[in-house]
Structure 1
Amino acid sequence: MEERMEQFITYLGQVRGLSENTVLSYRRDLLHFKNYMEGELGISDFREVTPDCLEDYFCMLEQEKKPSTVSRHMCSVRALYRYLVKMYLVKEDITERLRSPGVQRDMPEVLTVEEAKALVEQPSGAGPRQLRDRAILELMYATGIKVSELVVLKVSDVNLRLGLLHCREEGKDLVIPFGNCARSALLQYLDEGRDALLAEDRCEILFVNYSGAAMTRQGVWKLIRRYGELAGIQKEVNPHSLRHAFAVHLIENGADLQSVQEMMGHAGRAATQIYAAARRPENREAYSRNHPRK
């Protein structure tokens, strides 16, 4: 992604003759887009980005940024994809279906409780990798943490006795509870799986690969996608799928928005409210039927 982005940036300056400040603005926006795709969704090629990935990205932006900022980011991403299509680097311009800021944006499809259960239960073996993968999936669904937060967790960040996870990322300091399923999976991984992966090396990081080093965000994304396929889930499955499911399923079962907001690390309630509406289409139908200003 880095190479294609730099080609586009060079094109803007040398071919289109845009000013240095304008080119820097494009670079800043597209770097943010690239980092999100790589860091949160595990995507390393613009050809792998789907319309759902774009919806996920701009849904996140609208929760955190002003409409004018979202519009600028959208223009940058659209310009990039027009260039990629023109240069035959992608097959289609997936930004054509993007809706402008302020237009009702649907959140990507949320996993049902049954689908989430099928996903996290896919790693069922007793080998070190299966124990690690089960612990990863259980913890992500139990806490709603992002993959960028997961891969930097230390063993000391997990309090198994109290069922609490200490999460630090981007200046945030969160303490998130988790239940018995995640506790059991973590305990089994720590007792029977992690040392086998570490070999001779010592490492503070909670989740490690076969080299004994910290897992990468791309590695987590690949394992989640693989288990989603094995579970037969037809929806797109990525690390954010479990974060979405965590929030929606909590709210469906009666959790208040304030608690969910704090556990997800959202700065404001508006970022959490989209989950409250994710499974309530009847609210919109009732509004359409009864409000005088339809």
Structure 2
Amino acid sequence: MDDVIADYLHYLQIERGLTANTISSYHQDLKSFSAYLNDQHLTLSQVEQLTILNYLNTLREAGKSRRTVTRAVSTLRRFFQYLVQNDQLPADPMAEIKAPKQGQHLPQVLTVEEVDALLAAPDTSNKYGIRDRAILEVMYATGLRVSELVHLKLADLHLDMGLIQTLGKGNKERIIPIGDVAIQWLDTYLEKSRPVLLKQRQSPYVFLNAHGNGLSRQSIWQKIQQYVSLAGIRKHVTPHTLRHSFATHILENGADLRIVQELLGHSDISTTQIYTHITRKRLTEVYKKAHPRA
């Protein structure tokens, strides 16, 4: 099973050109399924529809979310299609299995006041605080994914034109405007903090750690948790929350949905439409608070 999974992941990387993050998700799902087969003393050739259904039920009983179960179905569907197409299995046990319907999930969004508090949380009297303020400002000003932020390079900055470029999902390049405040903090970081962090080394990346190397996604997540606590924000906040807040706030201020789709790098506008539900919900909350008869 391990060899088959390794071959499949290699296929995803070389022939499908999927990103490392996507391949890692596939790997985790397939490792979980492989462990289940080992527990049941089953081989791949013995897997049938009932095996899959029992496995999915095991995930539910273990308290896995609907999103996790749905992702497992998607992973296994593609995996078994690959095996059948490559004559490693005679039939596809996933053929009659449907993914559970996804519930409507509205991402967590910060208010403008909460964003202001978060952005003001770093201590900008030192090199790390200046860097972290620049990171938060850039994330909120552009809606970058955290993976896009950590891979942002000096060559991607076109601050004189008020633009940055990034390589998003599926290696799709997009150009994003960046506001004056974020540019000011970026300039301050590039002038005062980055040269000190670099320590006469060379690095193409914009944001660096104490050793002069690029930051990791995990370190960004930890820093945001730290500043959320300092800002006194009670919500569950992740790096993606700033992206959600960016999209919601510009929609609330009159931006067209197609523009937001372009800024976020969504290939399908149905992905962007989730934010219209957030803004409607916000309108309802404001109405109920403001209208005397509501």
Pair 1:72-2:73 in alignment: yes
Kindly indicate whether the alpha-carbon contact (under 8 Å) linking 2:139 and 2:243 is maintained by their aligned counterparts in 1: yes
The number of residue pairs the alignment matches comes to 225
Matched with 2:20 is: none
Matched with 2:253 is: 253
1:16-36 deviation line (CA, Å, top 9, x unaligned) = 13442769xx9xxxxxxxxxx
Cα drift, residue 264 of structure 1? 0.4
**Aligned equivalents of 2:283 and 2:219: distance in 1?**
39
1:28-54 deviation line (CA, Å, top 9, x unaligned) = xxxxxxxxxxxxxxxxxxxxxx99xx6
Matching residue's letter, 1:134: R
| Aligned ranges 1:102-181 → 2 under 5 Å | 102-103=102-103, 105-169=104-168, 170-181=170-181
Query: Could you list the runs of 4 or more consecutive aligned residues of structure 1 that deviate by over 2 angstroms after TM superposition?
Result: 1-11, 17-23, 68-71, 73-76, 281-285
Matched with 1:11 is: 35
Kindly indicate whether the alpha-carbon contact (under 8 Å) linking 1:71 and 1:100 is maintained by their aligned counterparts in 2: no
Indicate how the Cα distance of structure 1 residues 71 and 281 shifts in structure 2: closer, same or farther if over 3 A, else same.
Answer: farther
Q: Secondary structure at the match of 2:165?
A: strand
Matched with 1:93 is: none
| Aligned ranges 1:220-239 → 2 under 5 Å | 220-239=220-239
**Aligned equivalents of 2:228 and 2:282: distance in 1?**
29
Kindly indicate whether the alpha-carbon contact (under 8 Å) linking 2:109 and 2:245 is maintained by their aligned counterparts in 1: yes
Q: Secondary structure at the match of 1:108?
A: coil
Answer with 1 or 2: which has the greater Rg.
2
Gap regions ≥5 residues in structure 1: 27-49, 62-67, 77-98, 286-294
1:33-90 deviation line (CA, Å, top 9, x unaligned) = xxxxxxxxxxxxxxxxx99xx68xx4xx9xxxxxx965715999xxxxxxxxxxxxxx
Matching residue's letter, 1:185: W
**Aligned equivalents of 1:208 and 1:124: distance in 2?**
17
| Aligned ranges 1:268-287 → 2 under 5 Å | 268-281=268-281
1:85-110 deviation line (CA, Å, top 9, x unaligned) = xxxxxxxxxxxxxx94254x131321
Q: Secondary structure at the match of 2:182?
A: helix
- Cα RMSD (Å): 3.4
Kindly indicate whether the alpha-carbon contact (under 8 Å) linking 2:142 and 2:176 is maintained by their aligned counterparts in 1: yes
Kindly indicate whether the alpha-carbon contact (under 8 Å) linking 1:160 and 1:183 is maintained by their aligned counterparts in 2: yes
Indicate how the Cα distance of structure 1 residues 18 and 163 shifts in structure 2: closer, same or farther if over 3 A, else same.
Answer: farther
Gap regions ≥5 residues in structure 2: 1-23, 53-62, 78-98, 286-294
Q: RCO higher in 1 or 2 (8 Å CA, sep ≥ 6)?
A: 1
| Aligned ranges 1:16-31 → 2 under 5 Å | 16-20=40-44
Q: TM-score, length-normalised on structure 1?
A: 0.68
Kindly indicate whether the alpha-carbon contact (under 8 Å) linking 2:30 and 2:75 is maintained by their aligned counterparts in 1: no
Indicate how the Cα distance of structure 1 residues 75 and 13 shifts in structure 2: closer, same or farther if over 3 A, else same.
Answer: closer
Matched with 1:196 is: 196
Identity level (%): 38
Kindly indicate whether the alpha-carbon contact (under 8 Å) linking 2:122 and 2:129 is maintained by their aligned counterparts in 1: yes
Pair 1:101-2:125 in alignment: no
